[in-house]
């Protein structure tokens, strides 16, 4: 029952607000002056649907519009699920529907930081007479975001808008980069010529500057100002764990202020106001084989079915990046991580954990028993390694074994002809030889020496200052049968 209480309160708040609301002039939420490149609450589908592609905004939200006389008959329900969203709005008994979607353009390099998205909106049941808003966002670095938005109304010329957001603290204090954000937006749309009302031409305008701060954890204060219309928007928010309580105040130059209190309940972990909800640890699962590309197990036309036995390295890297950006998460805990992968993918995963730890967050590992590879991996990434008091550390280095069937096949009268271009081409040796050849041994020893040196370097880098002996001595004295 406890898990459902926030949703019950959300529903009761919505019903109560709708009951007391009075008839008044509606407010168009699309006019909110959110920073285009960095809006981060449930209004994302309204402002810039491309940011749905970050997959950081799964939540259920409700907003109630108010003016100086109290609540009016206008409320908004948000259902944001990762890269998709549905928003329902009621303005004085007129229904507005909004379907949005966003996605990352690619999984590699800079493409991972390019997001595209669109929103389609319509009134009442007039689905075929709706209008589009499309957007693109680029995050070349954690300190900067750039966005472009295109409005394509049902009637009238399209309008465009571009924006940039900067997080200067990211350069000096990465763990506090989210505490200060500066933004600037500019519009480009057709305006009526003052000298000839029949003439309309595109002009730059609606320049908006903004600032958002979080001096105290969980206390959000932001403001934007339109340099042309002199409109002002203030945004105040309190965040507790996965709950976001906010209020927007929008004030035009000559009009009365509009108030938009709203609540959001989602899966994003915020730093709680005054630490009331505490910081959390994220339990990451590493219990499947890691592959460079996860291919579908079955395909039936456009339908692809994936099994649950593997995870791609890109999925894991994105998961680490997402957790790194959640201020309410103190670190990652790995419980009995056990996975198979190649040596190169292991190195890529270790580098991703290094990038995660560079944000100031920690990694801890717990094992019932630690295998050879498990200890090397944990040594490379973990701030602390915990072992069950009855567990063992099976640390013994690397070895290679191979079966040789030459003698058996010879006894069966099977003649094996092993074609080799030179002595190091040993793929067929298991069928033609009875034991390991010197050239094979030389190859394997060179390979194992590389693995061994890399493993020792990782142990020394991660735990060298806490070891009583050198990493070489530690491995040579293994395995350890008592924790």
pLDDT at position 274 over 60:
no
The number of folded domains in the chain is 2
**Could you tell me if 155 and 239 lie in one domain?**
yes
- Together in a domain, 306 and 263: no
Domain holding 193: CATH number? 2.40.160.40
Q: Which pLDDT score is estimated for 46?
A: 85
Q: Are residues 198 and 289 in the same domain?
A: no
30 located within any domain? yes
Q: In this structure, is residue 482 part of a structural domain? A: no
Over residues 461-467, mean pLDDT: 78
158 with 300, same domain: the answer is no
Pair (86, 152) in one structural domain: yes
Q: What percent of the chain has pLDDT over 90?
A: 18
Question: Do the domain assignments include residue 481?
Answer: no
For residue 180, is it within any domain? yes
Stronger pLDDT, 308 or 459, i.e. the higher one: 459
Verify that 237 and 344 share a domain, yes or no. no
Q: What is the pLDDT of residue 8?
A: 44
Asked if 387 and 414 sit in the same domain, the reply is yes
Q: What is the mean pLDDT of residues 251-266?
A: 86
Domain boundary among 220, 253, 271: 271
Is 483 contained in some domain?
no
Average pLDDT value over all residues in the chain: 80
Of the residues 218, 240, 271, the one at which a domain ends = 271
Residues 257, 298, single domain; the answer is: no
Is the predicted pLDDT of residue 111 greater than 70, yes or no?
A: no
Q: What is the 3-state secondary structure (H, E, C) of the chain?
A: CHHHHHHHHHHHHHHHHHHHCECCCCCCHHHCCCCCCCCCCCCHHHHCHHHHHHCCCCEEEEEEEEECCEEEEEEEEEEEECCEEEEEEEECCEEEEEEEEEEECCCCHHHHHEEEEEEEEEECCCHHHCEEEEEEEEEEECCEEEEEEEEECCCCCCEEEEEEEECCHHHHCHHHHHHEEEEEEEEEEEEECCCCCCCEEEEEEEEEEEEEECCCCCEEEEEEEECCCCCEEEEEEEEECCEEEEEEEEECCCCCCEEEEEEEEECCCCCCHHHCCCCEEEECCCCCEEECCCCCCEEECCEEECCCCEEEHHHHHHHHHHHHCCCCEEEEEEECCCCCCCHHHHHHHHHHHHHHHCCCCEEEEEECCECHHHHHHHHHHCCEEEECCCCCECCCCCCCCCCCCHHHHHHCCCCCCCCCCCCCCCCCHHHHCCCCCHHHHHHHHHHHHHHHHHHHHHHHHHHHHHCCCCHHHHHHCCCECCC
pTM value > 0.75:
no
The mean per-residue pLDDT over the stretch 463-471 comes to 78
349 found inside a domain: yes
Containing structural domain, residue 312: 280-476
Residues 176 and 48 in one domain: yes
Residue that terminates a domain, selected from 240, 271, 302: 271
Instruction: Give the percent of the chain with pLDDT over 70.
Output: 84
Do residues 298 and 230 share a domain? no
pLDDT tens digit sequence for 191-242: 766 666 666 788 888 899 999 998 777 788 999 999 988 899 999 888 777 7
pLDDT in tens, 336-393: 888 888 888 888 899 999 989 988 889 999 988 888 888 888 888 888 888 888 888 8
Check whether residue 295 and residue 225 sit in a common domain: no
Clarify whether residues 8 and 134 are in a common domain: yes
CATH number of the structural domain spanning residue 353: 3.90.226.10
């Amino acid at each position: 029952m406890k898990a459902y209480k926030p949703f019950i309160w959300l529903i009761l708040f919505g019903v109560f607000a709708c009951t007391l609301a009075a008839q008044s002039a509606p407010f168009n939420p699309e006019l909110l002056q959110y920073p285009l490149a960095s809006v981060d609450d449930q209004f994302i589908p309204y402002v810039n649907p491309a940011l749905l592609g970050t997959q950081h905004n799964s939540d259920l939200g409700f907003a109630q519009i108010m003016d100086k006389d109290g609540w009016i008959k206008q409320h908004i329900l948000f259902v944001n699920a990762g890269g998709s969203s549905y928003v329902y709005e009621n303005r004085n008994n007129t229904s507005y529907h909004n379907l949005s979607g966003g996605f990352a353009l690619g999984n590699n390099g800079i493409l991972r930081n390019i997001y595209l998205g669109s929103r389609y909106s319509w009134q009442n049941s007039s689905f075929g007479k709706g209008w589009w808003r499309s957007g693109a966002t680029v995050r070349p670095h954690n300190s900067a975001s750039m966005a472009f938005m295109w409005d394509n109304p049902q009637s009238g010329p399209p309008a465009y808008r571009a924006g940039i957001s900067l997080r200067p603290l990211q350069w000096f204090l990465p763990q506090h980069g989210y505490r200060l954000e500066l933004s600037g937006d500019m519009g480009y749309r057709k305006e009526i010529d003052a000298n000839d009302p029949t003439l309309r031409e595109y002009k730059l305008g609606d320049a908006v500057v903004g600032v958002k701060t979080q001096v105290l954890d969980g206390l959000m204060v932001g403001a934007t100002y339109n340099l042309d219309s002199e409109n002002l928007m203030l945004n105040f928010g309190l965040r507790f764990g996965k709950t976001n309580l906010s209020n927007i105040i929008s004030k035009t130059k000559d009009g009365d202020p509009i108030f938009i209190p709203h609540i959001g309940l989602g899966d994003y972990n915020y730093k709680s106001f005054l630490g009331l909800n505490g910081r959390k640890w994220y339990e990451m699962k590493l219990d499947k084989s890691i592959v460079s590309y996860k291919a579908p197990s079955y395909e039936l036309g456009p339908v692809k079915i994936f099994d649950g036995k593997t995870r791609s390295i890109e999925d894991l890297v994105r998961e680490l990046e997402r957790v790194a950006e959640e201020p309410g998460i103190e670190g990652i805990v790995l419980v009995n991580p056990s996975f198979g992968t190649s040596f190169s993918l292991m190195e890529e995963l270790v580098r991703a954990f290094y990038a995660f730890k560079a944000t100031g967050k920690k990694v801890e590992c717990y094992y019932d028993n630690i295998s050879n590879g498990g200890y090397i991996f944990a040594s490379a990434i973990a701030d602390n390694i915990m072992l069950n008091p009855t567990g063992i550390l099976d640390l013994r280095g690397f070895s290679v074994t191979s079966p040789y069937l030459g003698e058996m096949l010879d006894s069966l009268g099977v003649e094996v002809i092993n074609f080799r271009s030179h002595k190091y081409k040993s793929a067929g040796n298991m069928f033609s030889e009875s034991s390991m050849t010197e050239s094979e041994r030389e190859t394997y020893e060179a390979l194992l020496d590389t693995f061994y040196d890399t493993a020792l370097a990782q142990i020394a880098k991660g735990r060298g200052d806490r070891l009583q002996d050198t990493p070489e001595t530690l491995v040579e004295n293994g395995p350890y049968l008592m924790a």
